[in-house]
A and B are shown apart, each in its own frame.
Chain A
């Protein structure tokens, strides 16, 4: 944890630092509030521990600054104060938003326990919040300081009586007193009951910007306020005075408070002055207020004491139709609808005057005569003599809520993107159709339609484009629907089409054919031509099922089969299909136990530097051998693992095993090589991935630089905040990143730079075309050149012939992998390669 300790006393600061460092926390120290704020601007902290009494800016002020700063307010704040704590300090600190208030001396165990409790709460987002405004803070702060000053003054007095034996104590107290008086940028002065200055700190003249020093309170306050203050003092000196005044000095506003104290054995007044900032700041505040008022979606109407309109905001005009000039000077009665019950307004006014506010629903009339319901909140603003200054009304037009209610109902049954029936309504419609067909003895056709590879479009072109595709597909599907048919969106990329009154299978065949043809027509989205295909599974009532559930299930099974057979076509359900679906489920179940039954193993595809054919690293791949299914190809089980989510566990297993293996090689004295592990988009989407990688690296104590994570292009194209942050974190950890299958997706150079990728892998489909295909040649050449311009290392995948290797070397491709060099090797085989590498003493590994 990173902790900021704010403490002016060196011994206390060292004390905290030693204790916290012993718990392996990172500790930074600041000697006062102002330096603490500077430190907070430069770095992030997990906790602030602060003393209260400090020069420049004290702990209370620091806490106020932090808790009112939206960027800092979430940092837990703990007061750790010296022995001079006064009654009321704790309460004030907690109102300021401090998470804890500790008093010295404290057992280290207790301090650590409190820190632990505060930071645990902060992790749950339970950091304390400030509950006072600026005005309350200034008054409270002055009172705290005044109380402390008086306390110290008494201590000083007592101490001076015991001067001989307690010289030590006295000097300490004196120091504190001096600190207080010279405290921060505030000016502090003490006056006697006649207003004469007894003491003042050096800040006073700076603050007041007056050429000549002043020496009497009457020079500071307006005449009437001055006599008021002295009168208050004379009346009663026991209760704390609630006196404050704002004066102007130059272009600054100065806040003044006064507190009765005893000083040098006589009753006196402690006066504190604080700079509230310049007019400029005040006018900024006004500008901000106006901006908020102007942009508020609620209508606002402000009237004066006589209830005449003095201001309205644009939302008022939008809702009522009355412009500002229409209403200024009038009473709000012009809005009355005449629909409210007798006595309504009387009741409203009486509770407004009594409670200072009222809220409720009422009907008003717009300028065009239209009636509308509104929710109105009324409040009063009074001056200090309780006289009404303003009436403020804030209201919402709730007629729009009526529309919202209808909208919500629609949303419950319709898909918001395509505005077609959603799954709920579809099921209802199918049920209805089944019941009707039972009576009429007609057939129903249910088409389960899935857009092929919509995921690719989403990943490479982004979800907005994917959404446009879905909408366009849906429109085309609707063009085939006859009266009584239903087309709706079943899930992301799946649609259901319910065809009523089917006499013969042929009718459905025709429709399915036309649907596929129509979907294959190009789509023009965002100025881009997009081609897609779809697969269709078909189930018939009553042949393939008698209930809605069976029909949907069987149409789904035939759809799955159609997709597996290569997409872009349709299939009618047949009972044998259930077998295929069951097989898949069996494989999914077998895969679930693959890790625990030790059926997975790693193989290593060596990577060679083309220039001199030195082994530089490997790509780690996984193999699965099941006693019943035999050796299952990764191209079969990885997609199943991805769809079922098992890739999360399998991916973690691969990463951990790979790290353990590399660790073991290093321990036996073999060279430390670069190893690349594939990360699936499903894994990448999990927020826990970073923690997982970090944990495994820590566990195996491997240098992160050796690990390379291979990501697919599509994954980067999404370019979400999550993607950016995850990749940045990996880079910060020192891990290398490479892009797999480069060139197959919608390759985009911009992201290579943005994500600071280290390596680029040319997809084997391009390498395969070498050296004969001019097209592939051009692509490969371009990729290498571009990658080198961006200082990326280029790896060619699937190098199979000598000619390909020659060509790639000529084009300056850095690294190659493929059957020409070696097929993926078993652990012991790759180990042999490493040993050979070591013996060749050409350990020129990065």
Chain B
């Protein structure tokens, strides 16, 4: 498995920020700006970890994760759900669809990376 982290995030600003934080820590990233693209990239690139925005138009983070988990090619990749700023979301719903962890925004730079660490090889 590669050391790449897949970021699924529809908001460009947030995508840039997460990419930046990971790159600064020496972690390579690939990105998808919707759930469908996220599924395709996950199958093709086999990332070590997926950071999943929960609120996205069309296919949201819960649905994308459900599909990832039902596909034998992607079901073993850990998925971390990332909440939005304003929209309500719940840890329980995230865990129920098979997410390995759940991070609430705003991201805190000091702890963000350590939250990912357990899922990286």
Interface residues of A (CB under 8 A from B): 10-12, 14-15, 17-19, 21-22, 104-109
Contacts and interface: CB of A to CB of B under 8 A. Distances in A.
Contacts of A11: 14, 84-86
A7 B17 CA distance: 17
A11 B110 CA distance: 19
Contacts of A22: 20-21, 24, 109
Contacts of A10: 85-86
B13 A21 contact: no
Contact of A18 (B19, B84, B107): B107
A85 to B, nearest CB: 15
Interface in B88-120: 105-110
23 contacts: A10-B85, A10-B86, A11-B84, A11-B86, A14-B85, A14-B107, A15-B13, A15-B14, A15-B106, A18-B106, A18-B107, A19-B17, A21-B108, A21-B109, A22-B24, A22-B109, A105-B12, A105-B13, A106-B16, A107-B16, A107-B20, A108-B16, A108-B19
Interface residues of B, number: 18
A15 B24 CA distance: 16
Interface in B17-52: 17, 19-21, 24
Interface centre among A21, A22, A105 (most CB of B within 10 A): A22
Given A10-B85, A11-B85, A11-B86, A108 B106 contact: no
Nearest to A107: B16
Contacts of A107: 16, 20
Nearest to A20: B109
Contacts of A104: 13
Interface string B58-78: 000000000000000000000
Contact of B20 (A17, A21, A105, A108): A108
A19 B17 CA distance: 7
Contacts of B108: 18, 21
A18 B109 contact: yes
Contacts of A109: 20
B58 to A, nearest CB: 13
Nearest to B84: A11
Do most interface residues of chain A lie in helix, strand or loop, or is the interface mixed? helix
A28 to B, nearest CB: 14
A107 B106 CA distance: 18
Contacts of A14: 85, 105-107
A109 B84 CA distance: 23
A651 B36 CA distance: 67
B114 to A, nearest CB: 13
Contacts of B16: 105-108
Contacts of A21: 108-110
| A-B complex: 8 closest residue pairs judged by Cβ atoms | A22-B109, A14-B106, A108-B20, A11-B85, A18-B107, A105-B13, A105-B12, A21-B109
A22 B22 CA distance: 11
A693 B105 CA distance: 40
Given A14-B106, A104-B13, A19 B20 contact: yes
Contacts of A15: 13-14, 17, 106
Contacts of B105: 14
Contacts of B86: 10-11
A19 B86 CA distance: 19
A436 to B, nearest CB: 79
Nearest to B107: A18
Nearest to A14: B106
Contacts of B110: 21
Contacts of A18: 17, 21, 106-109
A6 B16 CA distance: 20
A95 B105 CA distance: 37
A104 B109 CA distance: 21
Nearest to A17: B106
A11 B21 CA distance: 17
Contacts of B106: 14-15, 17-18
A108 B24 CA distance: 11
Nearest to A22: B109
A105 to B, nearest CB: 5
A21 B106 CA distance: 11
A15 B110 CA distance: 15
Given A11-B14, A11-B86, A18-B108, 20 more contacts: A11-B84, A12-B13, A14-B85, A14-B106, A14-B107, A15-B106, A18-B17, A18-B21, A18-B106, A19-B20, A21-B109, A22-B20, A104-B13, A105-B12, A105-B16, A106-B16, A107-B20, A108-B17, A108-B19, A108-B20
Nearest to B106: A14
B42 to A, nearest CB: 25
A109 B16 CA distance: 9
Nearest to A12: B13
B112 to A, nearest CB: 8
